Structure 1
Amino acid sequence: MTTTAAYTDAAGLAGTDLGWTDWVEVTQDRVNLFADATDDHQWIHVDPARATDGPFGGAIAHGFLSLSLTVKFWSELFDLEGVTTKVNYGLDKVRFVSPVKVGAKIRGGAVIAEVTEVPGGYQFAVDQTIEIEGGTKPAVVARGLYRFYA
């Protein structure tokens, strides 16, 4: 469910727990497309037969593929109305805690940790977690930085 807020309320949003997205299956097709886009065709990602005998017991998603889905999840969880531009400003910290096997379902959760005024807008520091359905540890934990300009 998307939390929608007005730009005029941005400064007071620190501490807001945005909850969780729906689950998304990580398919071999998605992994292969990411491999093509990044020229990272390591066998643990793109050769399911060989990966069965590898360290993870099957093909896994690239860590950066999982991380890139934070953008999808963030946009599903939050929208700030009354802005002209939304910018993915960067990351402060990222950890790839658990591998995501092909066929697994993942979802994203987020908490707005800090809101800082910047020239022309606000910067949000957002603690994001990607969890694996049935997993005991998250796949990714990251602090994303997003800017909203009026």
Structure 2
Amino acid sequence: MKTYENISDLQPLVGEIIGTSDWLALEQERINLFADATGDHQWIHVDPVRANDGPFGVPIAHGFLTLSLLPAFSHTAFKLKNSSTGVNYGLDKVRFPAPVPVGSLVRAHFKLLSFDALENGGAQLKIEMTVERQGTGKPVCIAESIVRRFP
């Protein structure tokens, strides 16, 4: 995990990777819980028997489950010591280029795309999150997250 003292320490890092998360396992139980929380019980996610005969040969995680792990990934990727809070402002360009088969290990790389100072000493950050699956070369999720951080 990378640690930064102040929000302003990120400003010169635009265009660079500011952190990489720990690996996280996407097991069937997490996929089922996500299906219950969202009401998305499509068989390719929650029916292992049917999914074995489907297009991916196994159940796959929901794309939105992968995206929803952004906070969990960021908590192990980088820390802003003198920031009391961060709030989601939005997302740009979300894509799911490859599936995430059940049991996969995934992690995220965070690249700072822009830094816009706010009046109160905070900043609006645009961060590209690229999620990779262990053992493959193609990302499983790429999203531009916009977050506001405050001192």
TM over 0.5: yes
Question: Which residue of structure 2 lines up, in the alignment, with residue 55 of structure 1?
Answer: 55
Question: Which residue of structure 2 lines up, in the alignment, with residue 123 of structure 1?
Answer: 124
- Structure 1 window deviating more from structure 2 (33-42 vs 17-26): it is 17-26
SS class of match (1:60) = coil
Question: Which residue of structure 1 lines up, in the alignment, with residue 3 of structure 2?
Answer: 3
Determine whether 1:73 maps to 2:73: yes
- Deviation at residue 47 of structure 1 after TM alignment: 0.3
- Deviation at residue 55 of structure 1 after TM alignment: 1.0
Q: Aligned letter for 2:84?
A: T
Q: Deviations over 1:89-130 (max 9, x none)?
A: 211110000010001111111111110113432011111100
- Deviation at residue 8 of structure 1 after TM alignment: 4.2
- Deviation at residue 10 of structure 1 after TM alignment: 4.0
Structure 1: where are the runs of 5+ without partners?
none
- Deviation at residue 30 of structure 1 after TM alignment: 0.3
Question: Which residue of structure 2 lines up, in the alignment, with residue 149 of structure 1?
Answer: 150
Structure 2: where are the runs of 5+ without partners?
none
- Deviation at residue 14 of structure 1 after TM alignment: 1.8
TM-score, structure 1 normalization: 0.92
RMSD of aligned alpha carbons: 1.5
Question: Which residue of structure 2 lines up, in the alignment, with residue 43 of structure 1?
Answer: 43
SS class of match (2:72) = helix
SS class of match (1:35) = helix
13 and 139 in structure 1: CA distance in 2 versus 1, 3 angstrom threshold: same
Determine whether 1:106 maps to 2:119: no
- Deviation at residue 19 of structure 1 after TM alignment: 4.1
How many percent identity over aligned positions?
47
Q: State whether residues 15 and 113 of structure 1, in contact with CA within 8 Å, keep that contact through their aligned partners in structure 2.
A: yes
SS class of match (2:58) = coil
Q: Deviations over 1:46-68 (max 9, x none)?
A: 00110000111110000000011
TM-score, structure 2 normalization: 0.91
Q: Aligned letter for 2:42?
A: Q
Q: Aligned letter for 1:139?
A: V
CA distance in 2, matches of 1:35, 1:44: 11
- Deviation at residue 39 of structure 1 after TM alignment: 0.7
CA distance in 2, matches of 1:8, 1:63: 33
CA distance in 2, matches of 1:110, 1:125: 10
CA distance in 1, matches of 2:138, 2:10: 31
Q: State whether residues 4 and 10 of structure 2, in contact with CA within 8 Å, keep that contact through their aligned partners in structure 1.
A: no
